[in-house]
Chains A and B, each alone.
Chain A
Amino acid sequence: MNRMDLNRGMITRYGIPLVILIAVGLPLVSADLYILNLLVLMLIFIIFAEAWNLLAYSGQGSLGHAAFFGIGAYASTLIATESGITPYITIFVGGAVAALIGVLIGLTCVRLREWFLAMVTFGFAIIVQTLTVSVLAPVTGGWDGIASPRLISAGIPGYQLIQYYSILLITIGCILLIHLIMKSRLGLAFSAIRENEVEARATGVDPVRVRLIAFAISAYIAGIAGALEIHYIGYLTPEIYGVDISFWPIIYVIFGGLGTLAGPVIGTVILMSVWEGLRQAGLTFGRYVIVGVMLILVIIALPKGLVSLPGELRERWMAWKEKRAVRADSADIIPDKES
C-alpha cells in the first residue's frame, strides 16, 4: 500500500514535467515537419479526448462528440472570416457556440441514460451534418466546405514552431482546467451522479443542473479542439461531423483509462503513434482491425485502461509472491499437500 502511494506520487512529480519537457523539446531536437504535424494533431486530439472524458466522468457517454468538434470549427471559421479577428481569439468564441448548443442538446438528454443518451448524441451529429449541408449551405459551403483562416500566416519565419507551441500552451491550459474541475466540488458532484444518482440527490446535488454543466464544459473544450484543428489544416468540410471523428476520442479514452486525467493523453499518444506506424506499413484497412482488437482486449482484460497497468501488474506480482510464501509455509508443515 505504502509503496504504491509513494510510487504514484513519484509518477506525478516526475512524470508530468518529463512529458512536458518532451513535448517542448522534441520539435527543437528534430525539426522534421512530419513529426511536428503529427504532434500538433496529437495535441488537438488530446484536448478532444479530455473533453469527451470529462462528460463520461459525469456518467454520460456521448457517441456524437464530433457535433461539438464541428460546431466549434464552423463557428470559429465563420467568425474569423467575417470579422478578420485572429483565430487565436475566435477559437474560444467557437467553443462558446458549441457549449451553447451543448446545453440545448443536454436539455434533451439530461433525463436519459446510457444507450438512450448514446443514441441521441449519435443522431444529433447526423442532424447537425444534415443541417450544415442543406439549410445552412449558403453560409457553410455545403459539401464543398470552406477555407478557414490559418492560425498564423505562413509569412512569419518559424511560424510552424510558434503554431506548435501555442497549441501546446492551449492544450496544457485545457488539461489544467479539467484537472481543476475534477478536483473541485463540481467534479465531486460529477462522480457522485455517475456512481449513484439517488444518493447524490440526497446530499443536495441537483443532477439535471450538474449534467447540463458537464455538457456545456465538455462541448466548450471539444469546440476549441475542433476550431484549432480546422484553423491548423486551413480547410473545413462537413466530414468533420463524421462517425469516425466521434469514435476516436472514445477509443483513445477507453484505451488510456476512462475517468482519469492521464488516460486520454496516454491513449491518444500511443494509439495515434500506432496508427501512423501502421499507415506507414501500408495497412489501409488492417490498421482499423488492429485498433479494434486492441480496444476489445483492453476492455475485457484491463477495464480501467492502460493507466491501471502498473498497479495491476504490481497487484498480480504481490498476490503471486504471497501465494508462494503461503505455499512454502504450508509445505513446511504438510510436506505432500497442494498440487
Chain B
Amino acid sequence: MVDVGILLQILFWGVYAGCIYILLATGLNLIFGVMKIVNFAHGEFLMLGAYITATVFFMTGVNPYAIIIISMLVLIGIGAVVERLCFRPILGTSKLNEIFLSLGLIYIFQNSAAMIWGDQWQSIRSPYQGITVSLGPLSVPVDYLIIMAVTSAILCALYFFLRKTETGRQMRATSQNRKGAMLVGINVERMDIMSFSIGCALAAAAGTLWVVSGQVFNPYMGSIPAVKAFAIIILGGLGSIPGAIAGGLLYGIAENGAAYFLGGVWKDAISFIILIIVLVVKPTGLFGESGE
C-alpha cells in the first residue's frame, strides 16, 4: 500500500519538475501567440542557459541563483539573432519549414556546445545543498522551494509585463490579431523579435534552475524537455499561458508518478502517452478552441 507521505513527496517532486516545464512552455506559448511559429529547438536555449550558469559559476563562484540574470540577458541577445536570421525569412511559408529549420538549429546549438564545453555529463553543487525543511510529513530541500519561488516570481513579472505595460499590451494585441495590430500602428516585427527573446530568456531561466538544483546536464539535455514543453502547450491549448502552467504541473506530477509506480524507463514515454490520449479524444487540446 502506498502511504500518503510518498504520494505527497511525488506531488512535490512533480511540482518542482513542473517549474522547468512551465518556464519552457510559457516561453514557447508566448512565441507561438505572437509569431504563430513553433521552435522545436527551444530546448537548446535551456541547455545554453544551463551552460552559461555553470561557466559563470565555475569562473566567479558567486551564488548560482544570481547568475539567472546573466543567463537570461545573454539568451535575450541570442534569441534576437536567431529570430532575425532564421525565423523571420521563413515567416509565412509552409508550417513544415519551421519544424525543419528547428532541426538545423538543434544540430548547430547542441554540437557547438559540445565543441565548447565537451559532451560529458556535468553538474554543480548548490550552496544550499543538503539543507532541508520539514513541511508536515515532507522533508523538502531548500533548493526546491527557492526554485518554485523564483519560477512564481518570473511568471508574476511576465504577467505584469503583459497586462500593465504598453509594450505588453501591444504584444497581446499582435497575438490576438496581427493584421489589426499592424493597422493601429504596432510594429509587429518588433513584437516578433521581443517575444522570441523573452521566450528564450524564460528558457534560460529554466536552464539556470535546472543546474542549481544539482541535476546533471550535457549538450543534448534540451531536446526532450522542449518536446515535452511543446506537448504541454498542445495539452493546455496553443497560446494560452494559464493552460501552459496547468499542463506543466500536470506533466511534472504525471512523470514522477509514472517513474515511481512503473519504473524510471517510463518517465519520458508517459508524457507522450498522455499527449496521444488527449489528442485522440480532443484534437485541439484540453483548453484549445481551434486547431489552427
Interface centre among B95, B96, B101, B108 (most CB of A within 10 A): B96
Kindly provide the distance from the CB of B252 to the nearest chain A CB, expressed in whole angstroms.
Answer: 17
Residues A254 and B100 in contact, CB atoms below 8 Å apart: yes
Residues B272 and A127 in contact, CB atoms below 8 Å apart: yes
Identify the closest chain B residue to A254 (Cβ): B100
The reply to whether the CB of B29 lies closer than 8 angstroms to some CB of chain A is: no
Residues B265 and A299 in contact, CB atoms below 8 Å apart: no
The reply to whether the CB of A251 lies closer than 8 angstroms to some CB of chain B is: yes
Residues B269 and A295 in contact, CB atoms below 8 Å apart: no
The reply to whether the CB of B189 lies closer than 8 angstroms to some CB of chain A is: no
Residues B112 and A285 in contact, CB atoms below 8 Å apart: yes
Residues A116 and B97 in contact, CB atoms below 8 Å apart: no
Residues A285 and B114 in contact, CB atoms below 8 Å apart: yes
Count B-side interface residues using an 8 Å CB cutoff.
44
Identify the closest chain A residue to B292 (Cβ): A113
Identify the closest chain A residue to B224 (Cβ): A126
CA distance A133 to B111 in the complex (A): 28
Kindly provide the distance from the CB of B83 to the nearest chain A CB, expressed in whole angstroms.
Answer: 13
The reply to whether the CB of B213 lies closer than 8 angstroms to some CB of chain A is: no
Residues A130 and B275 in contact, CB atoms below 8 Å apart: no
DSSP class of A's interface residues: helix, strand, loop or mixed?
Answer: helix
Q: Which residues of B contact A285 (CB under 8 A)?
A: 111-112, 114-115, 119
Q: Which residues of B contact A303 (CB under 8 A)?
A: 93-94, 97
Residues A296 and B105 in contact, CB atoms below 8 Å apart: yes
Residues 57-97 of B, flagged 1 when their CB comes within 8 A of A and 0 if not, give 00000000000000000000000000000100110011111
Q: How many residue pairs, one in A and one in B, have C-beta atoms under 8 Å apart?
A: 127
Q: Which residues of A contact B195 (CB under 8 A)?
A: none
Known contacts A292-B107, A299-B101, A300-B90, A119 near B227 by CB under 8 Å: yes
The reply to whether the CB of B271 lies closer than 8 angstroms to some CB of chain A is: yes
Q: Which residues of A contact B107 (CB under 8 A)?
A: 288-289, 291-292, 295
Residues B276 and A108 in contact, CB atoms below 8 Å apart: yes
The reply to whether the CB of B137 lies closer than 8 angstroms to some CB of chain A is: no
Known contacts A134-B265, A300-B89, A123 near B272 by CB under 8 Å: yes
The reply to whether the CB of A146 lies closer than 8 angstroms to some CB of chain B is: no
Interface centre among B86, B230, B271, B276 (most CB of A within 10 A): B276
Identify the closest chain A residue to B96 (Cβ): A61
Known contacts A111-B283, A286-B115, A288-B110, A124 near B101 by CB under 8 Å: no
The reply to whether the CB of B153 lies closer than 8 angstroms to some CB of chain A is: no
Please provide the chain B residues from 266 to 284 with a CB less than 8 Å away from any CB of chain A in the complex: 266, 268-269, 271-273, 275-276, 279-280, 283
From A127, A243, A286, A299, give the contact of B104 (CB < 8 A).
A299
Residues A292 and B106 in contact, CB atoms below 8 Å apart: yes
From B101, B115, B269, give the contact of A130 (CB < 8 A).
B269
Besides the contacts A108-B276, A127-B273, what 13 more A-B pairs have beta carbons closer than 8 Å? A108-B279, A112-B279, A120-B279, A134-B266, A250-B100, A251-B103, A285-B112, A292-B103, A292-B106, A295-B100, A296-B104, A299-B100, A299-B104
* B residues at A contact (CB < 8 Å): 38, 40, 86, 89-90, 93-97, 99-101, 103-108, 110-112, 114-115, 119, 223, 227, 230-231, 234, 263, 265-266, 268-269, 271-273, 275-276, 279-280, 283, 291
Can you give 10 A-B contacts (C-beta < 8 A)?
Answer: A115-B230, A120-B275, A127-B276, A288-B111, A289-B107, A292-B105, A293-B108, A295-B101, A295-B104, A303-B94
